[in-house]
Amino acid sequence: MPHQQGAEQDEMFTYEQALRAIFQRTDVERGERPPYSERIWRLERVHELLQALGNPQGRYSAVHVAGTKGKGSTTAMIASALRAAGLHTGMYTSPHLHTFRERIQVDGVPISEADTARLMERMAPVLATRPEVTVFEIITALAMLYFADAGVSWAVFEVGMGGRLDATNVLQPRVTVITSISLDHMAILGPTIAQIAREKAGIIKLGVPVVSAPQQPDALAVIADVAAEKMAPLTLGGRDWQWQRLPHYGGVRGMRFYRAGHGSCPEYPALMVPLVGDHQLENTANAVMTLELLREQGLSISRTEIALGIAQVEWPGRFEDLQRAPTFVVDGAHNVDSMQKLLRTLAQEYPGRKPTVVFGAGRGHTPADLLAQLVGHVGQLYLVHANHPKATEVSELANACVALGLEATACPDVDEAVALALDTAQPDDVVLATGSLFVVAEARRAWMRLNGLAEPPADPPGIY
C-alpha cells in the first residue's frame, strides 16, 4: 500500500508541469496577434470550458474592470477595499511582475504552487479534449475555479485585452468598470479611439451599472451609447463624482472626493492615496465610485473601510520609488499615453531633474513612439533587452534613438544597466527603469540583489 501511495504521488502535477501545461497552448497574447474576431477569440469556448468545470464563476459576486490604462491599479484598489471590510476577496490581474502566481490572489495572497498544480491536474482531463483552449482562457478558468474552491464572496477581475471577446467577459458582474481609454493594441482592437472604446465597452451588461473614468469625447460617446442600449446606468467620473488633489503632508498624497454638488460637504474629505500621480487619483475615483454603487446595492462596506482599503493598496512596478539618494523609480509605462503620464508625474515629484533612464520595450508596442516621448526629458539613456520572449532587440532600440537624435548606451542586460546607472548617479539624481513591465521586474530584482535583499519568488526558467 505505501508503494501505491508513492506511485500516485509521482503522477501528481508539479508546479512546473502545471505551468508547462498552460503555456504549451496557443498563446494569442504573445507574438503576432490575430485580429480581434470571434473566429479566434471565442467566448462560447470559455463558457463550455467553465460548464465542464461546474461553472465556478457563478459562486461569488464579481466586479469586472476594462480599459487601456489604470485597470490593474483600479482592480487592486477595489479588492483592497473589499478586504478592508472583512470580505473574503479574490483578485485576478495580468500580466505578472515576478511570478505567474501574482495573477491569482485571495485576500492579497498569491495562489500557492501546490494549489496551481492541484487545480491544473484537476482541469487536465477537461483540457485534454479541448485543444483549442488558449493560454489566457486556461488561466482565467483556473482563477475562477480557485476562487470558488477558496470560498470567496467577492472577486475583482481585470480584463486581459479589449473586453468584448476577452475570456473574462463570461462574468455576470454586479458592476462593470471602464478606466481611461487610449491608443494601444491597435493592430488588434482597431486604429481609432472609438473602435477601441467599443471593444472595451463590450463588458457592459444588460441592466448592470457601469462606472467610467473621464474619457476623450469619441470614447465617451461610444460608452454612453452602449450603456444606453444595454439600459446600464452610467456613473461618470468628473461629472457625477468630482475630486481635488490635496497638498502633500509629510510625503502622503491625498484627494477630496465628493458627489457632484457636495463639494462643501464631501463624502471623502481626505482619501489617502499611496499610488503616485494624478492619473492614480482618477483610478482611485473609479474604484470609489464602484464601491459606492455596491453600497447602494446593499453591500455592507463603510466609507471608513473604503478609505482604509485605498490607503493600504499595494501595486508594485507602477511609479514605485525603491530608494532615495539617488532616487530609483520603476514604472511599467508601455504605451504613449502611459509614458506621457509617467513624465508628468516625474516632473511633479522631482521638478527640474532629468532622469537617467534604463529603457527596454516589448514587440507588441512601438518602441520608437515611446522613445520619442523621452526626447528632451532625459539625461543618460541606457538601452536594454530584457530576458523575455516579447522583448525588442537593443539594436532596434538603438536605430530608433539615432533617428530621433537621442544619445544612448547599449547594455547587455538590465542588471548591468541598473548597476551602472545607480553607481554613476549623484545623490540628488533620479534613475528610472521603464518601457515594459518585464523590464521593471528585472530592474526590481537587480536592485534587490545590489542591496542584499531577499528576491521575490520566481518561476522555473524557460516556461514562457
| Cell numbers placing 35 | 485580429
pTM recorded for the entire structure: 0.92
Per-residue confidence in pLDDT tens, the chain, 464 aa: 333 344 344 468 999 999 999 998 866 554 444 454 555 557 899 999 999 999 999 999 999 999 988 999 999 999 999 999 999 999 999 999 999 999 999 999 999 999 999 999 999 999 999 999 999 999 999 999 999 999 999 999 999 988 999 999 999 999 999 999 987 655 566 668 998 999 999 999 999 999 999 999 999 999 999 999 999 999 999 999 999 999 876 667 899 999 999 999 999 999 999 999 888 999 999 999 999 999 999 999 999 999 999 999 999 999 999 999 999 999 999 888 889 999 999 999 999 999 999 999 987 668 899 999 999 999 999 999 988 888 899 999 999 999 999 999 999 899 999 999 999 999 999 999 999 999 999 999 999 999 999 999 999 988 87
CATH fold for domain 2-312: UDP-N-acetylmuramoyl-L-alanine:D-glutamate ligase (3.40.1190)
Question: H-type helices in 12-134, by residue range?
Answer: 15-23, 43-52, 71-84, 113-128
| Cell numbers placing 29 | 497574447
In the numeric block, the cell 489566457 is attached to 136
- Specify the length of the chain in residues: 464
Instruction: Locate the domains of the chain by residue range.
Output: 2-312, 320-450
DSSP 57: G
| Whole-angstrom distance, CA of residue 396 vs CA of residue 368 | 9
CA 53 and chain centroid, separation: 26
125-133 own/partner pairs: CB under 8 Å, 24+ apart: 126/49, 126/52, 126/53, 127/21, 127/49, 130/45, 130/48, 130/49, 130/52, 132/26, 132/45, 133/25, 133/45, 133/49
DSSP result, 348-391: HHSTT-PPEEEE--BTTS-HHHHHHHHTTT-SSEEE---SSTTB
Tell me which architecture the domain covering 320-450 has in CATH.
Alpha-Beta Complex (3.90)
